[in-house]
Amino acid sequence: MSDVLKMGMVGGGRGAFIGQVHRTAACLDGKVRMVAGCLSSTADKAIASGKDWGLADSRNYQTWEAMLEGEKKLPASERIDFVSIVTPNHVHFPVAHAFASAGFNVVCDKPLVHTGEQARQLIEATKKMGVVFAVTYNYSGYPMVKQAREMIVNGELGEIRKVVVEYNQGWLANNLEASGQKQANWRTDPKRSGAGGAIGDIGSHCEQLVSYVTGLRLQSICADLTSFVPGRQLDDDANVLLRFCKAGASNCEGTGPDSMDAEPGARGILTVSQICIGHENDLRLRVHGTKGTLGWLQEEPNYLVLRQDGQPEKVYRRGNGYLGERARGNTRLPSGHPEAFFEAFATVYSNACAAMRARSEGKGNVGGIGMGGAGGGFDYPDVVDGARGVEFIERVVEASASSEKWVRFAGK
């Protein structure tokens, strides 16, 4: 494996938003180069898009199946080191499964797939082939998110009691999909997006962020999904109550919804929406423990606020020497020179690439966070994290369908 990794991409052709983000992020450090691709499901567009990006004709493929075959035939030293899948959700499964099963490392956008069964198959293929399989939960790439995780692991918050996670957007407050806008169009279509609308697109980021930062495991949920825009088929607003397993419990028994009187596990609120006008990409997290509170906002990502009892509020700022190893090791600029979205995204890639290099050097365990790879030093969201996100979407949809939970308010 040479110094610069060779990336192939599926999806992300002309007009795509997230494909370009992936390319910029992957290449930010000058250590990845895109050498192959099938950039659209429409053959003509795929070819034209590949030309835009300087792909050699021989590796500018019309279908992802052709790309898989083409790359497999190349000598190992020329072949792509990994495939990056940036298509609408419904395409993730077949492409990811085929490439992983063929021994290629995979980077795949989120949410991973439509069903728990598909997720199970991807985990199986990943384990069988020993490949690196990263899921681009990009927000966990922010240095101050890593700092939050590290502080909690170190016990600086004590036992976690409450988590509040929000992801407020407003871009779907109107019937944008009717205009044919590409991103809105497929995200509001259950065939392509899956069973979740907002809860899938952005709720899954929330679930992963909470899991990554706190290490808590969900025990049970109660949910209210709504579709406000007339004619929309999927939820554009989701409000969810969360209960987490008691920390340290070998399982979640005894802390469940039936046991109000038992010592409680952590509680949480998750609220996501795409009809909050004027909110742009307002992902925010608050974690409350027995020793203190942490707060972080994606739109001002260089800060992390710690509040401890009887002490002034502390604002941790990216790039400073007082931060932990993870925050310092996953940053590119000195303090005050703000980093932002691209860098966090790039960090998911660079950490996954580190695992790929380790694999090529024969290291056994190259899993990421979900597979316990973090212990082995690989700090990227992996296929197990992706699978958990799929279950989360399924359970929220299920919980929302139950109507017995409501108590009527009589009013006066």
Footprint on residues 339-368 left by a second copy (CB under 8 A):
339-343
Give, as ranges, the residues between 250 and 279 that touch a second copy (CB under 8 A).
252, 256-258, 260, 263-264, 267-269, 271, 273, 275-279
Alpha carbons 358 and 131: distance in angstroms, whole number: 11
> Would you say 373 and 366 are in contact if contact means Cβ atoms under 8 Å apart?
yes
The β-bridge relationship of strands 292-297 and 282-289 is antiparallel
Is residue 284 a contact point for a second copy (CB under 8 A)? no
Nearer to a second copy, 103 or 228 (CB): 228
- Residue 45: CB minimum distance to a second copy, A: 19
Distance (Å, rounded) from C-alpha 318 to C-alpha 29? 19
Count of chain residues binding a second copy (CB under 8 A): 118
Q: What's the angle, vertex CA 143, arms to CA 141 and CA 146, rounded to 5? A: 75
Is residue 169 within 8 A of residue 273, CB to CB? The reply is yes
Could you tell me the smallest distance in angstroms from the CB atom of residue 391 to a second copy?
7
| Binding residue for a second copy, selected from 62, 101, 115, 281, defined by CB under 8 A | 281
Would you say 189 or 224 has its CB closer to a second copy?
A: 224
Question: What are the structure tokens assigned to 374, written together?
Answer: 């973090």
Cis peptide before 111 (omega within 30 of 0): yes
Least gap, CB of 73 to a second copy (angstroms): 27
CA distance 67 to 172: 35
**Closest Cα to residue 382, out of 394, 402, 365, 360?**
365
* Contacts with a second copy, 35-64, as mask; x by CB under 8 A: ------------------xx----------
Using CB under 8 A as the binding rule, the residues of this chain from 294 to 323 that contact a second copy are 298-302, 306-317, 319-322
- Contacts (CB under 8 A) with a second copy, residues 162-221: 162, 164, 166, 169-170, 173-174, 217-221
Nearer to a second copy, 63 or 181 (CB): 181
C-alpha pair distances (Å), 139 with each of 147, 202, 281, 284: 13, 11, 11, 10
Binders of a second copy in range 138-167 (CB under 8 A)? 161-162, 164, 166
Show the DSSP H helices in 114-202 as ranges.
116-129, 143-153, 182-187, 190-193, 198-201
Question: What SS3 class is residue 145?
Answer: helix
Residues in 212-231 that interact with a second copy by CB under 8 A: 217-224, 226-228, 230
Q: Out of 43, 178, 262, 333, which residue is the one contacting a second copy (CB under 8 A)?
A: 333
Shortest separation between residue 298's beta carbon and a second copy, angstroms: 8
Q: Which is nearer to a second copy, 68 or 196 (CB)?
A: 196
How far apart (Å, rounded) are the C-alpha atoms in residues 147 and 339?
A: 15
